[in-house]
Structure 1
Amino acid sequence: MGTFKIEGGHQLKGKIQPQGAKNEALQILCAVLLTPELVTINNIPDIIDVNKLINLLKKLGVKVENIGKGSYTFQADEVNLEYLESDAFKIDGRGLRGSIMIVGPLLARFGKGYIPKPGGDKIGRRRLDTHFEGLINLGAKFRYSKEDQFYGVEAEYLTGTYMLLEEASVTGTANIVMAAVLARGTTTIYNAACEPYLQQLCKMLNRMGAKISGVGSNMLIIEGVKALGGTEHRMLPDMIEIGSWIGLAAMTKSELTITNVSWDDLGVIPSVFRKLGITVEKQGDDIHIPAHTNGYEIQSYIDGSILTISDAPWPGFTPDLLSIILVVATQARGSVLIHQKMFESRLFFVDKLIDMGAKIILCDPHRATVIGHDFKSTLKATTMTSPDIRAGVSLLIAALSAKGTSTIQNIEQIDRGYENIDSRLRAIGAKIERVD
């Protein structure tokens, strides 16, 4: 198990470029299964979760070639469907939650898709109902083995239909869209997710020959086509990493420039950080964060009541950044209520921040009140364990702002979502060392 050793309390300075988007990559990579033709994908992040999915595609028989840093070609012209029912697949598929999105493409193109109950972050229940209910609506027959937790859908062909999703699940919408593009007739998906990464998937599929309209809205209309062709695609920068670096700059009173952020795809992220009093400057397609030498002050509502920051489906604030917001608030002037609506176990890492001296009241599994120190009292260095990707980076930011030397164990969780994070942070002045 790897460990980070971090000497905190140092100001950072320089430029940092965000990696390709993890959550987009997991969707886009599954879409290569929809065509036997060559698909080229650029700006793929070199992280554990994405590399696991690429290896899974290789075992499925997809021809994968690395043609440069972050660039790969994929050709799914000889898919090995027998692997789907092997014991090896039941092990490999469990190691990654994103593997669920191979089901829609396989069902659409080959008439069957299987998946073991996938893993991922331990942040509470994450239902798969939206995925399978959508595929059943398209005409698939569903089966589930409770003994080995193995899911399957099969259909001779899929038929377009109207469906109203119970929840605007991003991965659920992606799975249904990838199945519907090869269905017979027209599919309408209402209450569809409309995140930028889902939009990217739809745009890529349209370049491959799909007919998807309503992209960017919560109603997608998909006219099924008989086959899709090859294409080339480039990933957006990772908005979660961008938010992480904004928080890092504020907590360490550092001047940082985050380059090539694709401002148009950041939604409310910059404005939410501004509500915490953080200066977020637009410089072309870069974000500049000046050194907050005098700290930053949380805004109140116009009636004077305490600010609440909560997550919501796009264009609301992404749940993946609430952990960062919570950590940043520990050194702000003022107080804020963090309301994590979508996952029931994501706030449980706050006990580690409390051990470091943060003033946090955990109201229940979904809500925490943070009373900021205004840098009058620094966080204390400590030893801690990363419970999931986003909490792990939040603890890393806390450690970089704390005085003294901290250690973070189980850093494989951080590596699942952040590419070479230690070397990239050292390049802007962080004192961080990886210890195996």
Structure 2
Amino acid sequence: MASFIIEGGHRLKGEIVPQGAKNEALQVICATLLTEEEVVIENIPDILDVNNLIALLKDMGVEVRQLSPDTYSFKASSIDLEFTKTEDYMKKIAALRGSIMIIGPLLARFGKAVVPRPGGDKIGRRRLDTHFNGIMKLGAKLGFDEEKQLFSLSAERLRGQYILLDEASVTGTANLLMAAVFAEGETVIYNAACEPYVEQLSKMLVGMGAKIEGIGSNRLIVNGVTRLGGCRHRLLPDMIEVGSFIGMAAMTTSEVTIKNVSVGNLGIIPESFRKLGITVQQQGDDLYIPPQESYTIESFIDGSILTLADAPWPGLTPDLLSVMLVVATKAEGCVLIHQKMFESRLFFVDKLIDMGAQIILCDPHRATVIGLGDRFRLRGMTMTSPDIRAGISLLIAAMSAKGVSTIHNIDQIDRGYQNIDLRLNRLGANIERR
């Protein structure tokens, strides 16, 4: 189990370019299973979750070629469906949460799909109902082998339907969208997730020959086609990494320019950091974070304590609440962090409390942070990363802390952040990988 040794107190200075979007990569790579023709995807991040998905597709028979460090060619002309029945397949797919999005393409193209309960972060219950209920409305039959913990879906033919999702699930919308492109007739997906990454997936599918209307909205209309062709697609920058760099610059009193962030696809993220008192300046398609010795959390207009809560897009992504919680520990003022979607994601705050932070964990979903500003500085300690986003948040805390910190289980961080130690060290951080 690899670890980071971090010497805190180093200020960063310079420019950094965000990696390609992890969540988009998982969606569009699964979508390559929908065609026999070549699909080229650019700006793919070199991270564990994405690399594991690419390796899984190779094992399934997809011809994968790396054209450059961040560009891959996929050709799914000879899928080995027998491999999807093997123990090796089950083990690999169960370890990767994003693998659930293989269901839609396999069912649409081959009429059957088998998946075990998916893995990923240990951040609380993550329901699969939205995926399965929507696909069953298209005509698929669902089976569950309780002994093997396997879900199986089959359909001789999928038929378009009006589907009102019970939640605006990003992966659920992506899965249903990929299943619907081959469904006979018209499919209407209402209460669809409308994140930029779902929009990107939709545009890629249209580039392959799909007929999709309402892209970017929460009402998608899909008219089924009989086949899809190849295309070339480029991933957006990772908005979660952009937000992480904003928080990192603030906590370490650093001067950082985040390059080529695709500002129009960041939504409410920059403004949410501004509510914590952080100066975020837009310079073209870059974000400039000047060094700030202090920052003060805003209150609501009536004087009540600020609340930052996650919500479906265009609301605030839940993936950045952990970072914002850490950033608030150094601010002047108080903020209530309300993590609505996942009941275990705030449990890492006990580590911040041990570092000296003033945080009240109200319940599994809410934490109140009492920022002490200049009167406070975190102290270094040894800790373990429980998931991707908590891991990067603990790294930010360690970089701003007094003394040396050790973070174990950094494979969790590597799942979502490409060469993060090397990239930050080039800006002046002191992070050693062991």
Structure 1-normalised TM-score? 0.99
Q: Could you tell me how far apart the structure 2 residues matched to 1:269 and 1:339 are?
A: 16
Distance, in Å, in 2 between the alignment partners of 1:55 and 1:327 is 34
Partner of 1:348 in structure 2?
A: 347
Match of 1:59 in 2: 59
Give the aligned partner of residue 288 of structure 2.
288
Cα shift readout 1:79-119 (whole Å, capped 9, x = no counterpart): 00111111111111111000100110000000111111110
CA distance in structure 2 between the aligned counterparts of 1:51 and 1:260, rounded to whole angstroms: 24
SS at 1:334 equivalent: strand
Q: How do 1:252-271 residues align onto structure 2 when only pairs under 5 Å count?
A: 252-271=252-271
Q: Which amino acid aligns with 2:145?
A: S
1:106 is the counterpart of 2:101: no
How far apart, CA to CA, are the structure 1 residues paired with 2:255 and 2:374?
Answer: 17
Structure 2 equivalent of residue 384 of structure 1: 383
Q: Secondary structure at the residue paired with 2:335? A: strand
Q: Which residue matches 1:358?
A: 357
| Equivalent-residue separation in structure 2 for 1:171 and 1:8 (angstroms) | 37
Alignment of 1:274-313 (within 5 A): 274-293=274-293, 295-313=294-312
- Counterpart CA distance in 2 for 1:375 and 1:117 is 47
Q: Secondary structure at the match of 1:67?
A: strand
The 2-side partners of 1:386 and 1:184 are apart by 46
1:371 and 2:370 are equivalent in the alignment: yes
Give the deviation of 1:11 after TM superposition.
0.9
- Aligned positions of 1:190-209 closer than 5 A: 190-209=190-209
In terms of mean alpha carbon deviation, does 81-90 or 266-275 score higher?
81-90
Segment drifting more, 192-201 vs 81-90: 81-90
Question: In structure 2, what is the Cα distance between the partners aligned to 1:87 and 1:270?
Answer: 45
How many residue pairs match? The answer is 434
Residues 4-403 of structure 1: pairs in structure 2 closer than 5 A: 4-293=4-293, 295-403=294-402
Measure, in 2, the Cα distance between the counterparts of 1:261 and 1:187.
Answer: 33
**Whole-angstrom CA distance in 1 between matches of 2:264 and 2:71:** 24
* CA-CA distance at 1:148 after TM superposition: 1.3
- The CA distance in 2 between the partners of 1:149 and 1:61, in whole Å, is 24
Secondary structure, aligned partner of 1:46 = coil
State the alpha-carbon separation in 2 of the partners of residues 93 and 280 from structure 1: 39
- Once the two structures are TM-superposed, the CA of residue 147 in structure 1 deviates from its matched residue by 1.0
How large is the Cα RMSD of the aligned pairs?
Answer: 0.5
Q: Secondary structure at the match of 1:288?
A: strand
Q: What is the alpha-carbon distance in structure 2 between the residues aligned to residue 389 and residue 129 of structure 1?
A: 24
Q: Secondary structure at the match of 2:227?
A: coil
Counterpart CA distance in 2 for 1:43 and 1:151 is 32
- Deviations along 1:99-152, one digit per CA (max 9) or x if unpaired, are 100110000000111111110000000010100111100000110111111111
Structure-1 separation of matches of 2:145 and 2:45: 34
* Structure 2 SS opposite 1:375: helix
Aligned partner of 1:322: which letter? L
- Structure 1 letter corresponding to 2:419: N
Letter in 2 for 1:429: G
Stretch deviating more after TM superposition (264-273 or 80-89): 80-89
Give every structure 1 segment of 4 or more consecutive aligned residues whose post-TM-superposition deviation is greater than 6 Å.
none
User: Partner residue of 1:434?
Assistant: 433
Question: d(CA) in 2 for partners of 1:177 and 1:277?
Answer: 39
Letter in 1 for 2:189: I
Structure 1 residue 277: deviation in Å? 0.5
For residue 372 of structure 1, give the secondary structure of its aligned residue in structure 2.
strand
Q: Could you report, residue by residue, the CA deviation over 1:297-326 in whole angstroms, capped at 9, with x for unpaired residues?
A: 000000000000000010000000000000
Q: Secondary structure at the match of 2:376?
A: coil
- Mapped to 2, the partners of 1:104 and 1:78 lie a distance apart of 18
Mapped to 2, the partners of 1:354 and 1:175 lie a distance apart of 39
What's the offset of the Cα at 1:375? 2.5
Structure 2 residue runs without a partner (length 5+): none
Partner SS state of residue 256, structure 2: strand
Percent identity (aligned): 67
Q: Using the alignment, how far apart are the partners of 2:267 and 2:114 within structure 1?
A: 35
Matched residues in 2 for 1:345 and 1:35: separation? Answer: 38
Q: SS in structure 2 opposite 1:282?
A: strand
Once residues 178 and 114 of structure 2 are traced to their aligned partners in structure 1, the CA distance between those partners, rounded to angstroms, is: 15
Residue in 1 that maps onto 2:408: 409
- Whole-angstrom CA distance in 1 between matches of 2:374 and 2:19: 30
Instruction: Name the TM-score, length of structure 2 as normaliser.
Output: 1.00
How far apart in 2 are the matches of 1:373 and 1:7?
22
Q: State the one-letter code of the partner of 2:418.
A: E
Q: Give the secondary structure class of the aligned counterpart of 2:300.
A: coil
One-letter code aligned to 1:411: I
